Amino acid sequence: MKPRVPVVLGSFLLFTVPAFSAEKEISNALPLKDVALFSSGVGYFGRAGQIDSDTRVELRVKAPQISDLLKSLVLFDPKGAIKPVSYSITDWMGIRPLETDLAIGNNLTPGALLQGFQGAEVRLDKPGGAVQGRIMSFSMTTVPVGDKTISIEQITLLTALGIQTVRLDDVSSFKLLDPALDAKLAATLEKRAAALTKRLDDGARPVALNFGGKGVREVRAGYLLETPAWKTSYRLVLGPKAKPYLQGWAIVENTTDEDWKDVRLSLISGRPISYIQDLATPVYVSRPIVAPLIIGSPYPQTFGESTNPGTGRVNGMVASGGGGGFGGGATFDNALESRITTLENKTAPPARVPLPTIQNRSMMQNSLSRSSDGVAFDESQMQLEG
């Protein structure tokens, strides 16, 4: 019977922002011990070493290889605790939109720089004393120097004492008094410096492994990285008397940033499954846009143009309580008088009834031709609507 090996499943966190703690940082605490290269284009890198108490180990990994490390990293700390791993994201330069940066071009003179802050409050330090006010305009002026004239920049400020023009050749320094603008200027310059550093660096990104515990102990780390596939070449040496001699060589390229010294190297042939999964680039999920529900107001209803006898319109008929047509129940005269009263009070009309059938039209025309209580109705001005 084969012995059973217990399997422990661990769940750990990987953060993109390093957490500040009291851990001591040691970049070379885990030297490289094992390298196994596969013919499928990946390699396993195993590290092991001793650490003391809480330790932060930093690895330098090329940006295109961080995804391979994230999907394969395994940490072992039997006598301690594994803390979150932190790394830098690949699009950190694009989180803040560029259009919010200040427009600071190259070869800007002090006057041109101040002109970009028109309306802001500044303090200009000069030998005669500091001047404080809001920037109004920037201009050039000429001053005589011997038998020649030179151009001097000057700035116009709105101060507490009025409008004042200051020559910038007398200004030793100036400061933006708006904290928001001053912080924005510093942030813009910081982003410019970071972009310059990104162009000049070697493309490596820091990945911090954090271990927590007490005392000296042995820890290990293992992960996969993209590596060139190792190759082989053979030679056959033939001599007149000596036996044929076959010699084989393995060609391995070390594309990492450290020497493989005192490293156990394994070359594994075959075609194991290997794939690329981008785990280092932030993924933003598209969400549907739901508009707020707006309930429109009902349109007002109109009923006829006039309530005067002989000139109005009847928009509906009131059916009697019994029988068909206008027979039984209330008479047509009572129904018509109720209809006129409703229109005069400007209240909602009764519900409309369907258009009378052909058999009842003749009865309606005969009824409309007669008068009731001295009120005459002109048939040509009556309109029946279904």
Question: CA 26 to CA 55: how far, in whole Å?
Answer: 7
Out of 118-122, 316-320, 373-377, give the one with best mean pLDDT: 118-122
Give the model's confidence band at 341: pLDDT under 50 very low, under 70 low, under 90 confident, else very high.
Answer: low
pLDDT one-digit tens code per residue, 285-326 = 999 999 888 887 777 777 665 555 555 554 444 444 444 444
CB neighbourhood size of 162 (10 A): 8
pTM above 0.75, yes or no: no
Look at the chain and count its residues. Answer: 386
Residue 362: pLDDT over 70: no
**pLDDT value of residue 319:** 46
Q: In this predicted model, what pLDDT tens digit does every residue of 150-175 receive, in sequence order? A: 888 888 999 998 998 888 888 888 88
CATH T-level topology, domain 103-186? SH3 type barrels. (2.30.30)
199, amino acid identity? R
Q: Per residue in 129-140, pLDDT tens?
A: 889 999 898 888
To which H or E segment does residue 72 belong? helix 66-72
Contact 227/255 with Cβ under 8 angstroms?
yes
Would you say 80 and 219 are in contact if contact means Cβ atoms under 8 Å apart? yes
Longest Cα–Cα distance in the chain: 149
Which residues lie across from 221 on neighbouring strands?
47, 75
For 158, residues 6+ apart whose C-beta sits below 8 A from its C-beta are: 133, 134, 136
Measured CA to CA, the distance from residue 276 to residue 70 in angstroms comes to 11
How much of the chain exceeds pLDDT 70, in percent?
65
Convert the pLDDT of each residue in 85-103 to its tens digit.
Answer: 988 775 544 445 455 566 6
What one-letter code names the amino acid at 283? V
CA 166 to mean position of chain CA atoms: 44
| Cα 80 from Cα 262, distance rounded (Å) | 27
Q: What is the radius of gyration, based on Cα positions, of the chain?
A: 46
Q: Could you state, in order of their start, the residue ranges of all structural domains in the chain?
A: 14-92+201-268, 103-186, 298-386
Q: SS3 for 40?
A: coil
